[in-house]
Amino acid sequence: MKARVPSLILHRLLIAALTLLIVSFAVYFATSMLPGDTATILLGQSATPEAIAGLRKAMNLDEPAILRFLKWIGGLFRGELGTSYANNMPVAALIGDRLLNTLKLAGLTTIIAVPLALTLGITSAMRRGTLYDRIVTVATVGVISVPEFVIATSAVLLFAVYLRWLPALSLTGDAHGLMGMLRVYAMPVITLTFGVSAQMIRMSRAAVIETLNTPYVEMALLKGASQSRLVLRHALPNALGPIVNAVALSLSYLLGGVIIVETIFNYPGVAKLMVDAVSTRDLPLIQSCAMIFCVGYLLLVTAADVIAILSNPRLR
Amino acid sequence: MSPIVQIRDLKVEARTDSGRRVAIIKGVSLDVAEGEVMAFIGESGSGKTTVAMTLLGYARPGCWIAGGEVRVDGVDMAALPEKERARIRGTKVAYVPQSAAAAFNPAIPIMEQVIEVTRIHRLMPPEEARRKAVELFRALSLPDPDHIGDRYPHQVSGGQLQRLAAAMALIGDPKVVVFDEPTTALDVTTQVEVLRAFKTVTRKHRIACVYVSHDLAVVAQIADRITVLKGGEIQECGTTTDILERPQHPYTRQLLDAFRPAPHARAVLTDDAPLLHVNGLSVGYGPPGANGKPLVLAVESVSLTVRQGTNVGIIGESGSGKSTLARAIAGILPACGGDILFDGRELWDSARKRSRDQLRQLQIVFQHADTALNPAKSIEQILGRPLTFYHGLRGKARDARIDSLLDMVHLPRALRHRRPGELSGGQKQRVNVARALAAEPKLILCDEITSALDTVVAAAVVDLLKELQRELGLSYVFISHDLSVIEAICDEIIVMHRGRMVEAITPSARQQPKHPYTRLLFSSVPKLDPTWLDGLDPQSERMQAASGG
Amino acid sequence: MTTRPASVPLASRLGYRINPVGLVAFSVILFWAVVALFADSLAPHPVGEIIDNDFFGPMRAGLWLGSDYLGRDMLSRILLGARYTVGISLAAVTIACFSGVVLGMTAAVVGGTLDTVMSRLFDALNSIPSKLFGLMVVAAVGSSIPVLILTLSVIYTPGAFRFSRALAVNIDTMDFMMVARIRGERLPYLIGAEILPNIVGPVLADLGLRFVFIVLLLSGLSFLGLGVQPPYADWGALVRENIGGLAFAAPAVIVPSIAIATLTISINLLIDNLPQKVRDRSVSP
């Protein structure tokens, strides 16, 4: 029995690796299926055929696509992310600090959202059917149903326009001291926390309710256990896998959320970099940013699966 | 001495989907004396479990106690607030569930769950509770009583879990224990041992029991008195002997009759060419190993012969391979060895390769009519499809045939527009049979088709099968774990144990089974005689006596 | 014998119980559907016409929803925006769900290698965050309405596949599937006649949810300037155009946001409060 856990985890990791391969394939080809080709885009429509041919050669565009894909992916493994079309800087250099900024934003959101959302999700499951539960449920449905930019604009309207507590835009370089930090991060973090928490509340609530409906919780009730004992001792340990899964999936919402939030608040993160790269059609930069996001998602989901395997009592 | 349990005019209501309130228990009154075992017997939906649960002041979600008193040791459980009820649960009244496998929390070691009652109610220090639990394990004849509590529920067998659930109920020294069909999910040979353990322990501690069951023979072994429930009302209540020997109520008589099936008019065994001949069939699961056989062999070289118009029964406990054998014959699971001859011609091992006519002539009826009938289709569509598929019937011809099929299985024609969800269990099983008949088969494989049905309903289905056989000259292969069902209909019985065929016997020779396992199996089937269990030798002795003799 | 009082509403007489929340949600959805269909005749002004000297004008008679950053009538722009938001999303969700559900049921019924390969591929596609996918495609091939519809449906096919496959796998374990198989039935009958009728309810609910996701993604892309391109504008693009009015809480930026929210929230609420078929066993014998 015990040997099953490592083999299950290994299996999960192999699947993650395979998925990553398929994803990188998809990313590469989605960004390479241009109507014109890269050389034309770079040089513009008015470029001479000779100039285009020369650039094609220089960029190895004459080679078959598969070969270019393999070279590209090999480069990724060596940390060579290529050179930006737009300003000829190494992609790695462009991304460096920006990635750190995005991670700060995501980390801060996680620290706030996870405890908040799990508390709300689990307590509303415990008191299901009550007014409290209904308010939480309706609020989460509301938040889930609107785009991030609506949450963001609402937050700006509320905190910056009506209440005038915070400035509407993140002013970077001003992040000194607590107030400075608050000014830079408050709006983006508030917006992201709303979205992430709503997802997490919904999923963790469902996970706990599902375990509360099992015969073993009924059995514990018939042994005279209190409501809190039913939830904390009997339901939660079994809901752990689904809850971790809920946390991971909700956090992956961050990946989509930051794209909007960084743009709207002009926050210098990797998502903003990517949106800008899209408007300049800077493909190497787009590809690298996309891979960062996909790896982030896979890390989250795989970690959740591994934790679920480890916490499954039947595999002990 | 006043009775420990006094139920007076108990009413329980439930809310239906449409929000209507329906009475499901309509004024039940009864007493249970200290140390007495009271059995509740009735079919599903009779309210027997609902009444028993009210002793714990509990009604399942969607139901509530609407009136009356449920006094346990003088306290009215129906009137208490939830907090007070919780204090009584586990200490005065305890509960043993139908499926211990589902009722044990998979994430917590068994011992922690067994002594949880002492923690919740602060009855004794954990060390003392553990010692007491080990004593109970020993008294319930569990193997390795000192360490079995360290395991997790999934590491222990079903029969052991059921006994562990009893230990969990008894740890708080309750005065009343509710047993909710505690042996229904077990094999007969296990059931005997579990019943015996329950009886010994509850008798020793003079605990009053409410024992809920649908099985009259099981109840006869353990109960002092029996209450017969139907439709939320008490039909009859009396001592076990009275109920068994002098039943007053028609429903009770029906229940008893179902236990004494009309003897099967045996077919004359002829030397005609066999309809089905299975020769050295082996079936397994998993990828093939080095020897070309699958990893796990569920059926190992089984042979059997079914002649036209005769029935063969396959009996065995869970894991014996009997259902796998049926599935291999039907072509659902490909066999890995041996061959199947049907009507003189060899059958492919997979249904995909068999001809449409071969598929038509060999039908299978599954155990659970709930899942065997597509809930999204009407009875008309369900019966109509094989008619169109095999016989090309459409329109009026098909409609007429559907009517005659419904007539054959004694269902009203008006049911054709209903969906399976709107039918009772017995009606669904009849539709299931009718669908097989629609193909006009020569042989029907019946896989545990009466197991999910109430006793009375099951007996009626068996009668129907016999009647159809007389009219249509069918043959059946009847797979069941229930000896009485097999005896009622089969000309030959094949006993399976751990994938092997242990013995093939014709019922006239049944009284002298030779193989020790067959003897154990047959002797484990409860009899209506209340002294049967006490007179039965322990399992090991029965096995030995058999193998010695 | 149950005699029902004559005052029972029609819905319960039909055997359904309708929840008031669901009814309100349905009305809102119906309203937007009608608007999307008849936007041309409903709009008081041509969408491109500048009729207000002021920009970000407030709500007033004749300009019921104020004016936008160029002084155009917001009401007309919202009404026509509904056409793009609802139309594109509806087209995309139809393609996504049709292909996802058919492939999902097929994978579940056929099983084996086909199932494994399809599940792996779709899982991999699913692990590309949806906005990112949209960004990449727009970067590569530019944004036009057909590209948007196709991209959105490709993004949401894996989800529909996964959902319907999971449902179909459960149905596939039922004995009636086995009965149909050993009757000799083929794939089209198995998925169309045996599985589909059992999963059609949840699949429609899933279609609704997916429609919401698509509306959100489309609005998000348009908000980033990568979705519907001028001169056309869906609701997301309207928010983008008028984001400058945010600082003075102009209706031009608030109203399109509200329009999106009413549509998406209503769909979610409708799914949670669908009329329930009353299965009252105690009524029928």
**Contacting residues of C for A106, CB less than 8 Å apart:** none
Q: How far B338 CA lies from chain C's nearest CA (Å)?
A: 21
Residues B459 and B335 in one domain: yes
Distance from the Cα of residue A260 to its chain's centroid: 12
- Tell me which residues of chain C, numbers 172 to 211, contact chain B at a CB-CB cutoff of 8 Å: 174-176, 178-185, 194, 197-198
Specify whether the CB–CB gap between B262 and B81 falls below 8 A: no
**Contacting residues of C for B17, CB less than 8 Å apart:** 17, 276, 278-280
Q: What is the pLDDT of residue B509?
A: 56
* Amino acid at position B344, single letter: G
Distance from the Cα of residue C127 to its chain's centroid: 21
Of C156, C158, C152, the residue nearest C138 (C-alpha): C152
- pTM for the structure as a whole: 0.85
Q: What is the pLDDT of residue A180?
A: 64
Residue pairs between chains A and B whose CB atoms are closer than 8 Å: 68
Q: Give all chains having 3 or more CB-to-CB distances under 8 Å with chain A.
A: B, C
Using the beta-carbon criterion (under 8 Å), do C280 and B18 form an inter-chain contact? yes
Question: Is some CB atom of chain A closer than 8 A to the CB atom of C224?
Answer: yes
DSSP B401-436: HHHHHHHHTT--GGGGGS-GGGS-HHHHHHHHHHHH
User: What are the sequence ranges of the domains in chain A?
Assistant: 4-34+93-311, 39-80
Q: How far B376 CA lies from chain C's nearest CA (Å)?
A: 6
Q: Give all chains having 3 or more CB-to-CB distances under 8 Å with chain C.
A: A, B
Dihedral, CA of residue C236, residue C240, residue C246 and residue C248, to nearest 10: -110
Residue of C nearest to A280 (CA): C139
**Contacting residues of A for B58, CB less than 8 Å apart:** 221-222
The boundaries of the domain holding residue B125 are 5-259
Residues B66 and B117 in one domain: yes
Q: What is the mean pLDDT of residues A267-274?
A: 88
Residue ranges of domains in chain C, CATH in brackets: 18-279 (1.10.3720.10)
**Contacting residues of A for C147, CB less than 8 Å apart:** none
- Count of CB atoms situated within 10 Å of the CB of B447: 23
pLDDT, tens digit (0-9, with 9 covering 90-100), for C26-43: 999 999 999 999 988 888
pLDDT, tens digit (0-9, with 9 covering 90-100), for B517-539: 888 888 888 888 888 888 887 76
> What is the gyration radius of the CA atoms in chain B, in angstroms?
25
pLDDT, tens digit (0-9, with 9 covering 90-100), for A23-64: 888 888 877 765 555 666 666 666 677 777 776 666 666 667
Token output for A73: 């992916």
Distance between CA B474 and CA B466 in Å, rounded? Answer: 9
- Domain-embedded: residue B119: yes
- Nearest by CB to B18, which of C17, C174, C183? C17
**Contacting residues of B for C197, CB less than 8 Å apart:** 374, 376-377
Q: How far B116 CA lies from chain A's nearest CA (Å)?
A: 8
| CATH code for the domain in which residue B147 is found | 3.40.50.300
**Contacting residues of C for B368, CB less than 8 Å apart:** 175
- Nearest by CB to C282, which of B22, B374, B377? B22
**Contacting residues of C for A30, CB less than 8 Å apart:** 133, 136-137, 140
Question: Which of B229, B259, B289 is the last residue in one of the domains?
Answer: B259
Would you list which residues of chain B are within 8 Å, Cβ to Cβ, of chain A?
56, 58, 86-91, 94-95, 97, 99, 102-108, 116-117, 120-121, 152, 154, 168
- Domain-embedded: residue B530: no
| Residue C244 per-residue DSSP state | G
Residue of A nearest to B156 (CA): A314
Question: Is some CB atom of chain B closer than 8 A to the CB atom of C4?
Answer: no
- Domain-embedded: residue B546: no
Orientation angle between helical segments A91-126 and A236-264, nearest 10 degrees: 130
- Domain-embedded: residue B94: yes
- Tell me which residues of chain C, numbers 121 to 140, contact chain A at a CB-CB cutoff of 8 Å: 121, 123-125, 127-133, 135-140
- Domain-embedded: residue B128: yes
Residues 6+ apart with CB under 8 A from A139: A198
Using the beta-carbon criterion (under 8 Å), do C175 and B330 form an inter-chain contact? no
Residues B253 and B288 in one domain: no
Using the beta-carbon criterion (under 8 Å), do C184 and B351 form an inter-chain contact? yes
- Count of CB atoms situated within 10 Å of the CB of B259: 17
Q: What is the mean pLDDT of residues C83-89?
A: 93
Distance between CA C227 and CA C174 in Å, rounded? Answer: 44
Q: Best residue in C110, C176, C178 to probe B by mutation, most B CBs within 10 Å?
A: C176
- Nearest by CB to B152, which of A223, A224, A316? A316
Q: In the predicted model, what is the mean pLDDT of chain A?
A: 82
Residues B225 and B330 in one domain: no
* Residue with more model confidence, C238 or B186: C238
- Domain-embedded: residue B404: no
Q: What is the pLDDT of residue A129?
A: 83
Using the beta-carbon criterion (under 8 Å), do A154 and C257 form an inter-chain contact? yes
Relative to beta strand B294-306, strand B63-72 is unpaired
Specify whether the CB–CB gap between A271 and A77 falls below 8 A: no
Residues B223 and B283 in one domain: no
- Nearest by CB to A263, which of C219, C224, C272? C224
Q: What is the pLDDT of residue A268?
A: 86
Residues 6+ apart with CB under 8 A from A146: C216, C257, C260, C261, C264, C265
Residues B349 and B482 in one domain: yes
Token output for B292: 């070309």
Q: Best residue in A25, A85, A143, A153 to probe C by mutation, most C CBs within 10 Å?
A: A153
Of B491, B489, B488, the residue nearest B270 (C-alpha): B491
**pLDDT greater than 80 at residue C279:** no
**Contacting residues of A for C135, CB less than 8 Å apart:** 259, 274-275, 278, 286, 290
Residues B109 and B198 in one domain: yes
Question: Is some CB atom of chain B closer than 8 A to the CB atom of C276?
Answer: yes
Distance between CA A45 and CA A37 in Å, rounded? Answer: 11
Residues B351 and B253 in one domain: no
Q: How far C8 CA lies from chain B's nearest CA (Å)?
A: 12
Residues B231 and B352 in one domain: no
- A4-34+93-311 is classed in which CATH architecture? Orthogonal Bundle (1.10)
Residue of A nearest to B170 (CA): A223
* Helix/strand/coil (H/E/C) assignment for every residue in B313-372: EEECCCCCCHHHHHHHHHCCCCCCEEEEEECCEECCCCHHHCCHHHHHHEEEECCCHHHH
Residue of B nearest to A316 (CA): B152
**Contacting residues of C for B372, CB less than 8 Å apart:** 174-176, 179
Reported confidence tier of residue C2, pLDDT bands at 50, 70, 90: very low
Using the beta-carbon criterion (under 8 Å), do C127 and A23 form an inter-chain contact? yes
Q: What is the pLDDT of residue A181?
A: 66
Of C276, C275, C256, C254, the residue nearest C264 (C-alpha): C256
- Nearest by CB to A215, which of B88, B102, B152? B102
Residue of B nearest to A313 (CA): B107
- Nearest by CB to C198, which of B22, B332, B376? B376
Residues B200 and B316 in one domain: no
Q: What is the mean pLDDT of residues A291-309?
A: 89
In order along its 549 residues, chain B shows pLDDT tens digits of 688 999 999 999 988 766 778 899 999 999 999 989 999 998 888 889 999 999 999 998 888 999 999 999 989 999 999 899 999 999 999 999 988 889 999 989 999 999 999 999 999 999 999 999 999 999 888 889 999 999 999 888 888 899 899 999 999 999 999 999 888 878 888 888 888 888 888 888 899 999 999 888 889 999 999 999 998 999 999 999 999 889 988 888 888 887 776 666 665 556 667 899 999 899 888 777 666 677 778 888 899 999 888 899 999 888 888 889 999 999 988 888 888 999 888 888 888 889 999 999 999 999 888 889 999 999 999 999 999 999 999 999 999 999 999 999 999 999 999 999 888 888 999 999 999 999 999 999 999 888 888 888 888 889 899 989 988 889 999 999 888 888 888 888 999 998 899 888 887 655 577 888 888 888 888 888 888 888 887 766 666 554 443
Residue of A nearest to B155 (CA): A314
Using the beta-carbon criterion (under 8 Å), do B103 and A313 form an inter-chain contact? no
Token output for B263: 């003897």
Q: Best residue in A219, A230, A310 to probe B by mutation, most B CBs within 10 Å?
A: A219
Q: What is the mean pLDDT of residues A288-307?
A: 89
Reported confidence tier of residue A285, pLDDT bands at 50, 70, 90: confident
- Nearest by CB to B371, which of C175, C182, C183? C175
Q: Best residue in C183, C277, C281 to probe B by mutation, most B CBs within 10 Å?
A: C183
The backbone torsions φ and ψ at residue B151, rounded to the nearest 5 degrees and listed phi first, read -80, 170
Q: What is the pLDDT of residue C4?
A: 41
Residues B210 and B285 in one domain: no
Q: How many residues does chain B have?
A: 549
Question: Is some CB atom of chain B closer than 8 A to the CB atom of A216?
Answer: yes
Q: Give all chains having 3 or more CB-to-CB distances under 8 Å with chain B.
A: A, C
Q: How far A166 CA lies from chain B's nearest CA (Å)?
A: 47
Relative to beta strand B233-239, strand B225-230 is antiparallel
